[in-house]
A and B are shown apart, each in its own frame.
Chain A
Amino acid sequence: MALEVGTNPMSMDAIAAALVEDFGGDLTDVRVQEPDTIVARCDRAALAAVAQRLKDHPQIGYQTLNWVAGVDRMKHFESIYHVYSWKTNTWLQLSVEVPFGTPEVDTVTGVWPCADWHEREAWDMFGIVYVGHPDLRRILLKDDFIGHPLRKDYIDNAENHPHV
């Protein structure tokens, strides 16, 4: 089975319509961002199921995860998943809102194995806990770093700089 790019080319509007139809209320605010990205939102409770269905979708099949990023929106976090469909050669950017109080969201490592390190980085930088992650620990910062630096309210403490 050779992995090929673009075996089922569809127009962006057709893809958006197919997603709205197949996912119903789970995928909200589906918009086309020219030239080749669909942007959508998903509820964090439905994320695990939606991710699996996105990957297994027969016509579009988002089989590769490009990256996962966290964003601090001042009122809540957001965990953004950027996935790629080989068949249609398009991207989908899925945003999941994560509240400040309980920053937990399901992991997608069961669906896309490469989410492993991306989610660890989001945990490291923002403190978003990925429930079910096999090994959630710091990846880029030292193990005893205090705080999550990419949050907007992060203040650089002296505790993190022992040599100064």
Chain B
Amino acid sequence: MFDQFATAEPDEAVKLALRRLDEAKARGEGSNLEGVELNEVVVNMGPQHPSTHGVLRLVCTLDGELIKDVIPVIGYLHRSKEKLAEKRTYFQYIPIVDRTEYLASINCEWGYVLAVEKLMGITPPRRAEFIRVISGELMRIASHLVAVGTFVADLSPLGTAMGFYTFRDRELVLDLLESLTGARMMFNYFRFGGVRYDLPDGWIEKCRLFLKKMPKLVDEYEALCSDNAVFLQRTMGKGVITQQDVMDYGITGPNARASGVALDLRRNKPYSVYPELDFEVVVETHGDVFDRYLCRLREMRECVKIVEQCLDMLPNGPFQTGSLRAPYIIAPPPGAVYVGQENPRGEYGTYIESDGSRYPYRLKFRDPCFCNLQLFPKLLTGIKIADAIAVSGSIDLVLGGIDR
């Protein structure tokens, strides 16, 4: 029964790498060492690998330690979400959207719910909008904590240096979200026209306690890494994303902002109550690995500011538009809509086409990591493997979104 999996033939990606290697040899290229003929090796990194942050496979053509060519192979987590959308009702699909970018589930749900609300012409009440912003920004903090923690973990030999600190603090955020929504990771919290539950008693006080603590925790992370000579040497000047790359490849999120491009959908294409909130769009200048790390740390501080403002401005009132309490089967009028939303990783877009029935006709996710990953062959060629690990960790990929 299991024998058909024992195959020794190279697959398409490896064949492509070998073809490119043959072409390079035919062109008469030499190695990077003087007087040595081309002696490159095609090596597979992944799909099971501790540093690829998921099931990403990189077919690398190596010349010693130098990477000459990288072919990313994805699809190892393709779960046919876009086809499943055509078999599930709009409401049944909300938990599946959660599992797209599983580290930022609330933000993914938000993108989907915004699109359906636009199709239906519903506006949630103000209290629900504020609760959405609060939970979305808390999720952003949790997501950046994982990003920074695993990134620094990749750089260190035994793997878990900063991870312990950031995951400990992520548990604090998840406690808050668990008492709000009932789940630690896949929240299933947003509804069309509001949210599922209102803030429980005492939640605001617990949240404020956490918000008072969070900036000191970010200070702790900065004290751990940002002045460390080895860390700086490994991250400064590496993996530079230029503004031309941002324009050509559609890079969004902290990766683009670290290169000096002030693109933040919460400012440029505001949704929900973001126009009323005062926060800074964190922009760095160099676009290297260190700047992306700094960008995420500073964004965590901005998230704290946003949540504090929301808690101060939180109005009383309903948390869900009355007409959508039950039944939960909706049939939006025919039409198509695209809504982009600022995920912790970039612009997460949902394109929904409805033909008037209970099931979507076409659902397409525009995933930020899918576009960011396209930059890999350009970013990773010509550098050493150790630097490649640092660069790929700083781009912050979540394969659930790339493969959908």
Contacts and interface: CB of A to CB of B under 8 A. Distances in A.
A–B touch (CB < 8 A): the answer is yes
Interface of A: 1-6, 33, 36-37, 63-67, 69, 71-72, 80, 82, 84, 86, 89, 91, 93, 112-114, 116-117, 125, 135, 137-143, 149-150, 162-163
B83 interface: yes
Given A2-B261, A163-B2, 10 more contacts: A5-B263, A33-B337, A66-B250, A69-B362, A82-B366, A93-B338, A140-B403, A143-B11, A150-B82, A150-B83
B397 to A, nearest CB: 14
Interface in B1-51: 1-2, 4-5, 11-12, 16
B381 interface: no
Interface in B239-279: 243, 246-250, 260-263, 268-269
Interface of B is mostly: mixed
A63 B373 CA distance: 19
A111 to B, nearest CB: 10
Given A67-B349, A138-B12, A5 B268 contact: yes
B323 interface: no
Interface stretch (B73-81, B90-98, B162-170, B383-391): B73-81
Given A1-B243, A2-B260, A139 B248 contact: no
A64 B260 contact: no
A140 B353 CA distance: 22
A109 to B, nearest CB: 11
Interface string B327-359: 000000000011010000001010101000000
A137 to B, nearest CB: 6
A25 B238 CA distance: 47
Nearest to B248: A113
B100 to A, nearest CB: 14
Contacts of A116: 374
Contact of B75 (A36, A71, A135, A140): A140
Contacts of A64: 247-248, 250
A61 B374 CA distance: 22
Contacts of B246: 3
10 contacts: A4-B261, A63-B247, A65-B250, A67-B371, A82-B366, A113-B249, A137-B12, A141-B78, A149-B83, A162-B5
Contacts of B249: 113-114
A5 B268 CA distance: 8
A142 B75 contact: yes
Contacts of B340: 66
B248 A67 contact: no
A3 B249 CA distance: 14
Contact of B351 (A4, A82, A143, A163): A82
B93 to A, nearest CB: 16
A36 B339 CA distance: 10
B192 to A, nearest CB: 19
B351 A69 contact: yes
Given A64-B250, A142-B75, A125 B371 contact: no
B298 interface: no
B349 A5 contact: no
A64 B340 CA distance: 14
Nearest to A78: B362
Contacts of A91: 338
Nearest to B366: A67
A2 B261 CA distance: 7
B370 interface: yes
Contacts of B234: none
Nearest to A141: B75
A137 B73 CA distance: 11
A143 to B, nearest CB: 5
Contacts of B5: 162-163
A6 B268 contact: yes
Contacts of B262: 4-5
Interface string B99-117: 0000000000000000000
B364 interface: yes
Nearest to B335: A33
A25 to B, nearest CB: 24
Contacts of A72: 362
Contact of B366 (A2, A66, A86): A66
Nearest to A137: B12
Contacts of B80: 149
Contact of A66 (B11, B75, B349): B349
A86 B249 CA distance: 14
B247 A86 contact: yes
A163 B82 contact: no
Contacts of A113: 248-249
Contacts of B353: 71
B299 to A, nearest CB: 18
A5 B246 CA distance: 12
A37 B340 CA distance: 11
Contacts of A37: 338
B267 to A, nearest CB: 8
A89 B269 contact: yes
Interface string B261-303: 1110000110000000000000000000000000000000000
